[in-house]
Amino acid sequence: MRRRKLIAPPDQAPSVSAQRRSPSSVVAGARANPFMFGLLGALGVLVALMIGGIVGQLATVLVYIGVALFLALGLDPIVRFIERKLPRPAAVAVVVIGVLLAFAGIILAIVPTLVEQIGNLIEDGPKMVKDFTNSAWFQDVSGQFGGTIKDAVDGVVGFVQNPDNFLDIGGGVFAVGAGIAGGLTGITIVVILTLYFMASLRSMKRVAARFVPAYQRDTFSELLEDVSSAVGRYVIGQASLALTNGILSLIFLTIIGAPVPALLALIAFIGSMIPLVGTLSASIIISLICLSRRMCSLRGS
């Protein structure tokens, strides 16, 4: 008689490849090779640290690129408006020239007045400190706490009146010069990158859309246009609001006779460029400066 071979059904006879690919076998392999598992983990940590170090080294460059891209998106609506009558390169050139002329005009209008008012503040500083120290409130506080308060004020005044102390804080004349040169270099890099991004913004959007699947490319392009337009409108609105706040602050501070109105108006302008907390912070600084000047004049009289 022939012997019959018992053949197991397919669901009861797992293949060798399935056994090899099962999770239990992988876990068993990892347990069997702890050295390999630890080595792979250590290599992963080293790669992460290396990427972090590269990003840290390129942090300044990434900040420049981010600022330039933000400015390019902010100026793009103006370029589109001018592009209706001129080619895009000409529109970009007109916008850039207009921004540079406006920036130069603001500097020429503010810097001389600002330098004069800061000089007046430095000249009137000792008198303001003297009026403050001779006030009745300061005398009462000094009487309660002894000569500690007066010594502290004298030390601060002596430190401020010595220009060498500011150079020591900045690291010396060489460090201050290097910082100024670095700032100018950074501004130049941002301007050049802004020009490049403004001229090639459409091609950059097309290249970015290529990384999206074809069936989602139209939706992605529309979404990208909406985001870029929203950023542009936000930048233009924020800059207009800051300029209006600075001009109105200059007029109001000049009327009430505030000290260094040009400097305080510049603080208001810079604060308005910072979302949420900028305007409030600038208002607090301006109010404290005006109140301290008013208190000193009242105590002195």
Residue 79 CB coordination number (10 Å): 22
What pLDDT is stored for residue 232 in this prediction? 84
Average pLDDT, the chain: 75
What pLDDT is stored for residue 261 in this prediction? 81
Alpha-carbon distance of 49 to 208, in angstroms, equals 28
> Can you spell out the DSSP letters for 127-162?
HHHHHHHTSHHHHHHHHHHTTHHHHHHHHHHHHHH-
Q: What is the DSSP letter of 57?
A: H
| Model pLDDT for residues 77-124, shown as the tens digit of each residue | 888 888 888 888 888 888 888 888 877 877 777 777 767 766 776 676
| Model pLDDT for residues 119-154, shown as the tens digit of each residue | 776 676 666 666 666 767 666 766 666 666 666 666
Q: Where are the domains of the chain?
A: 57-157+183-300
Mean pLDDT for the stretch of residues 252-276: 83
| Model confidence at 3: pLDDT above 70 | no
Structure tokens at 231: 């950023």
| Model confidence at 216: pLDDT above 80 | yes
- Residues 272 and 239: beta-carbon distance below 8 Å: no
The C-alpha angle with vertex 109 and arms to 106 and 114, in degrees rounded to 5, equals 105
The pLDDT > 70 percentage for the chain reads 67
Please enumerate in sequence order all residues whose Cβ is within 8 A of that of 137, keeping only pairs 6 or more positions apart, or say none.
Answer: 299
The amino acid at residue 283 is S
Q: Annotate 207-229 with b (16+ C-beta within 10 A) or e (fewer).
A: eeeeeeeeeeeeeeeeebeeebe
Q: What is the DSSP letter of 5?
A: P
